[in-house]
Structures are given as structure tokens and as C-alpha cells.
Structure 1
Amino acid sequence: MQVLVRDNNVDQALRVLKKKMQREGVFREMKRRSAYEKPSERRVREKADAIRRARKLARKQAQREGLLPAPKPKPRPARPPRPAAVAS
């Protein structure tokens, strides 16, 4: 995973890195591996994950076929305008 640091802005690069790691599921994986998981618990978790994936796939398929309405788009907060560049 790679993040570019622009103009020595480490805080912004760190935010981007955290967002990428969240999207990839790194934090979830770290939390899961922090303690021992019994084989029976692992089977239960993997089965639940498989069921969740199958339901999501079926829901998306039904939306594509028009059997279910498409999800409502999430309202995005308005971003403040960027400051103008200062000429020296």
C-alpha cells in the first residue's frame, strides 16, 4: 500500500492511509487476529460471512433485474471552498 506525501503534509497522507486501510479491511483483520479464535468459532464466523456475501450478491442481482428499488444515494456534505492560491 502506498500513499504520496504532498508538500510535506503528513497529516493528510496519514488520513488517506487510514482510509485505504479501512477500505481494505486491515483494521478488522488486526482485531480478529489479536486473540485466539477456536476452530468452531472460526467455522461459525466464516459461514456467517458467506451467508452475508450471498445475500448481498442476491440483493444486487435483484436490483439489476428491477425486482428491488435501487438504494437511495447518501447525501454528501457540502465541502467548504478551497482557499485561493496566494501569489508572491
Structure 2
Amino acid sequence: MQIIVRDNNVDQALRALKKKLQREGVYREMKLRRHYEKPSEKRAREHAAAVSRARKADRKRAERDS
């Protein structure tokens, strides 16, 4: 990952870096890796996320159709 600092404006470059890191999910992954997660807990979390995504897609589809 590369961020270009223009006109010695480090604050702007830092903001751009943080935004890129957040978009790629680095912060979320760091939070998950702070503590060990049992494989069964990981499966349950991923399953819950998949169900949530499916419900959201169904809601959007229903909203678009009506």
C-alpha cells in the first residue's frame, strides 16, 4: 500500500491511509486477532453474517419489486 504525501501535508496523507486501511478491513481483522477465537465461534459468527447479508439482500429485492 502506498500513500503519496503532497506539499508536506502529512495530516492529509494520514487521513488517506486510515481510509484505505478501513476500506480493506485491516482494523476489523486486527480487532478479531486480538484474542483467540475458537473454530466453532468463528463458524457461528460467519454463519450469522451470511444470514444477515441474505436477509438484507431479500429486503432490497422486495423493496425493488414492490
Q: TM-score, normalised by structure 1?
A: 0.65
User: RMSD between aligned alpha carbons?
Assistant: 1.5
Structure 2: tracts of 5 or more residues without a match: none
Number of residue pairs aligned between Structure 1 and Structure 2 = 66
Higher helix share: 2
Q: Which has the larger radius of gyration?
A: 1
Query: How high is the sequence identity, in percent, across the aligned residues?
Result: 70
Which one is further off, 49-58 or 9-18?
Answer: 49-58
Structure 1: tracts of 5 or more residues without a match: 68-88
* Aligned AA (1:47): H
Query: Relative contact order: is structure 1 or structure 2 higher (C-alpha 8 Å, sep ≥ 6)?
Result: 2
Question: What is the correspondence of 1:1-88 to structure 2 with a 5 Å cutoff?
Answer: 1-65=1-65, 67=66
